[in-house]
Amino acid sequence: MNNRFVNPLPGVPDVESPFFDQLFAAKETSAEVLSIASQLREKGYAIIDFPDAEFNARAERIKTKFSTTFDFDHWREELWHKNDSLRVQDAWESDADVRAIATNPAVLKLLGDIYGRRAIPFQTLNFPVGTQQPIHNDSIHFSSVPERFMCGVWVALEDVDGSNGALEYYPGSHKFPTYANEHMGVCSATQYKPTGHYPQYLDLWRQLIAAAGIDAKTFHAKKGQALIWAANLLHGGSKQTDPARTRWSQVTHYYFENCVYYTPVVSDPAFGRTYYRQIKDASTGFIQPNVYSGVEVDHEVIERSMPNAFERYVKPAPPSDFDPAGYLRLNPDVANAGADATEHYLEHGRREGRRWS
C-alpha cells in the first residue's frame, strides 16, 4: 500500500496549509528551514542572517552609488515631519548588487521550500532613511489567486536602532482574513479616485490590532540581518526620531509561480474589474505569465478586465443645488475635521447618503 502523502490543497502555501506537518515531513526539510517555516507560520515573520558572503561589500557599494540620488536636505526640511520617506524602486534592473540581493540563490531556495512553489522576485525598494509608513499589510497591494502566495524580505544595509526608523510589526496578524474592497463596502470602480478609500483600510488595521490585543514588535536589526514577512502581516516603519541619521535598507517583494497577480485595492472582480499585475522576474528578466489553476490567463481577458485605475480620472460634479455651507452645518464631523465640503461629499458623502439641505 502506498502511504505517500498527496496534498489535497495545492492552492494553499505550504507554510499556511492545514497539512503543514505532512508537507514538511514529506520534503525531509532541514531543521533550520523547518524552524524558519514554523516561525513564519505562527508569527507571520522570521529573522535570518542574509546568506551572502559579499553582503557587506554590496551594501557599501549600494550606499555609495545611491547616496547622490537623494536630496537629504529637502527630506529633513520638508518631508521628515510629514512622515514621508525616500526610496528608489526597481533598482535591480540597473544595479548588479541590488539584483544580487533580490535574486540570492539561498533565499530563493528557502522561500521555495517554505511556500512550495518557485519564488519570483519582482520588485525592489531601496531606502536611505526610515519609511515611517503607517501600519499596513502587503496583501492589499500585492495579492494572488490563489491567495497568500506573496512575501517580503527586508534586509538592513546598516545597523538600525530606536532613533533611525526601525521596522514595526504585529506578530500573528497575518492570520487575520485577507479583507478587500467587498468587505469594506467599497467599489473602487465607482469612485473618481480609485484609491480614495485607502484610509478606511488604515483604520480597519488599527481596529483589528486593538480588538486582538496584539502588541507591536520593533526590529533593531544589525547590518546583514533580514526579516521575512508573510503577505498579510501588519507592519510599518516607526518614526525616525533623528533625521540627521540614515537607515539604509532594501526590500524585495516576491510572488510565487503559477498564480494570478493583482492589486485588490483597485480591483472589483464582481464588477468585472481586476487590476492584473504583469510582473517581471528579476532572476530571469522575463515577464511572468498570470496562471489560474495551471492555465495561462489570455491577454484579451486581462485587457478586458483592467480598470484604468491609475490614469487621470474626470472628477464628477456635485449636484447643481449642492450647498457647501449647509453640508458642513448638517455634518459637523466633516466641519470639525477641517475637510472641504465638496471634496468630502464627492469622496464619501455621496456614497453615505449625507444631506446638505
Res. 2 pLDDT band, cuts 50 70 90: low
Residue 260 in this model has a pLDDT that exceeds 70: yes
Domain of residue 330 covers: 318-357
Q: Which one is predicted more confidently, 314 or 31? A: 31
* Whether 227 and 328 share a structural domain: no
275 & 194 share domain: yes
Burial 263-280 (b: 16+ CB within 10 A, else e): bbbbbbeeeebbbbbebb
Helices (H), the chain: 20-27, 31-43, 55-66, 72-74, 96-102, 105-115, 181-184, 198-212, 299-305, 324-330, 332-336, 341-344, 350-352
Asked if residue 349 and residue 204 are part of one domain, the reply reads: no
List the beta bridge partners of residue 315: none
What is the pLDDT, as a whole number, of residue 316?
A: 66
Structurally, the chain folds into a number of domains equal to 2
Average pLDDT over residues 96-120: 99
Q: How confident is the model at residue 313 (pLDDT cuts 50, 70, 90)?
A: very low
Q: Is residue 312 over pLDDT 50? A: no
If you average pLDDT over residues 129-134, what whole number do you get? 95
253 with 117, same domain: the answer is yes
Residues 205 and 242 both lie in one domain:
yes
Q: Looking at the structure, do residues 272 and 355 belong to the same domain, yes or no?
A: no
The answer to whether residue 5 sits within a structural domain is: no
What is the per-residue pLDDT for 8? 97
**Residue found by looking up cell 533550520 in the block:** 32
> Does residue 134 have a pLDDT over 50?
yes
Question: Could you tell me which of 58, 78, 137, 122 has the C-alpha nearest to residue 282?
Answer: 122
The dihedral over CA atoms of 199, 246, 102, 177, expressed in degrees to the nearest 10, equals: -30
Confidence of residue 315 (pLDDT cuts 50, 70, 90): low
Confidence of residue 296 (pLDDT cuts 50, 70, 90): very high
Residues 237 and 167: beta-carbon distance below 8 Å: yes
Q: What is the pTM of this model?
A: 0.86
Same structural domain for residues 147 and 281?
yes
The answer as to whether 279 is a domain residue is yes
The string over 124-137, giving b where at least 16 C-beta atoms fall within 10 Å of a residue's C-beta and e elsewhere, is bbbbbbbbbbebbb
In a domain, 58, yes or no: yes
**What distance in Å separates the CA atoms of residue 231 and residue 39, rounded to the nearest whole number?**
14
- Residue 4 resides in a domain: no
CA 233 to chain centre: 9
150 shares its domain with 176? yes
288 and 166 in a single domain? The answer is yes
- Measured torsion, CA atoms of residues 260, 178, 34, 215, in degrees rounded to the nearest 10: 150
Mind listing the pLDDT tens digit for each residue in 44-69? 999 999 999 999 999 999 999 999 98
| Per-residue pLDDT, 198 | 94
Looking at residue 99, what is its pLDDT?
99
Average pLDDT over residues 176-203: 91
| Within a domain: 63 | yes
CATH number of the domain within which 110 lies: 2.60.120.620
Residue 309 is predicted with a pLDDT of: 57
| Angstrom distance (rounded) from CA 285 to CA 287 | 7
pLDDT at 318: 87
In a domain, 200, yes or no: yes
Q: Grid coordinates representing 233?
A: 502581516
- The answer to whether residues 264 and 334 belong to one domain is no
Average pLDDT score over residue span 181-198: 88
CA distance 143 to 178: 9
For residue 180, the one-letter residue type is: A
Residue owning grid cell 497577480: 261
Lowest mean pLDDT among 185-194, 208-217, 258-267: 185-194
Do 141 and 177 fall into the same domain? yes
